[in-house]
Amino acid sequence: MTQSHADDSLRPTNYTRSIVHVASGVAAFGLVEYVLSDRERAWVPAVFALFFWSLELLRRRSMRANRFLMWVFHRIAHPSEVAQVNSSTWYGTSLALLGLFFPKACASLGVVVLAFGDPAASFIGRRFGKLRLIHGRTLEGTLAFFFVAALGGFAALFGWHGAELGMARALLAALVAALAAATMEIFCHQLDDNFAVPLAAAGAAWAALALVT
């Protein structure tokens, strides 16, 4: 999702997409924390990602299939996704990589940071954004992303991994992850933020926790 663009500033905020965005993140968090084992966390998201990429291939080969899928998901899809890889596909790919390469705490953090930070940036950026940055981002939206992501990330880490991390390390990881994710959200103009942001958050948190033992 974008915070604000000069060419779409009149487009209303897609609240349905934002709600689905948060709900998907909460569902993914629940799966990581309560349902999937460490081994399953490495391959179950990869199966879903493969399914999503299969749909992308089908869409490229069949205009009828493309029109049908866009009709099914028209309430949450951006018009540009008719000819581009869908954000859900990028998100599924990100979940697969999180499961393959990061420990549970960092994977959960990456999911939470995107789930809450991105809609906050979109809402605040569109409604109140005045100070433009680059690629249509605003300072207000970026700050909203950082603070909401940091708060949600800390709540997730301390609430579910506080015994292993402690308050100080959980806070550090959440702040570092939120900063990395907010920065990535500004600069990932050529990458879908549903792919780049969770990986940036998880990677930054993993590095910070590795350095502070």
Residue-wise pLDDT for 73-127, tens only, equals 777 777 777 878 888 899 999 999 999 999 999 999 999 999 999 999 999 999 9
Q: Judge whether residue 33 has pLDDT over 60.
A: yes
Residue 22, burial from CB neighbour count under 10 angstroms (0-12, 13-18, 19+): middle
Q: Judge whether residue 24 has pLDDT over 50.
A: yes
How far is it, in rounded angstroms, from Cα 96 to Cα 38?
12
pLDDT: which is higher, 148 or 2: 148
Q: Report the run of H or E that residue 131 belongs to, with start and end.
A: none
pLDDT at position 201 is 98
In the chain, where the domains are located: 15-211
**Stretch 11-17: mean pLDDT, rounded?**
67
Retrieve residue 47's tokens.
Answer: 């199966």
Q: Report the run of H or E that residue 12 belongs to, with start and end.
A: none
CA distances for 23 relative to 18, 19, 28, 114, 136, angstroms: 9, 6, 9, 11, 26
Nearest partner of 201 among 179, 171, 168, judged by Cα: 179
pLDDT: which is higher, 170 or 68: 170
The mean of the pLDDT values for the chain is 90
Our CA angle for 101, 104, 109, nearest 5°, is 95
pLDDT at position 194 is 94
pLDDT at position 66 is 86
pLDDT at position 3 is 52
pLDDT at position 68 is 86
76: helix, coil or strand? coil
pLDDT at position 13 is 62
**Between helices 38-61 and 104-128, what is the axis angle to 10°?**
50
Q: What are phi and psi of 132, to 5 degrees?
A: -75, 140
Q: Judge whether residue 168 has pLDDT over 70.
A: yes
Q: How many CB atoms lie within 10 A of CB 19?
A: 12
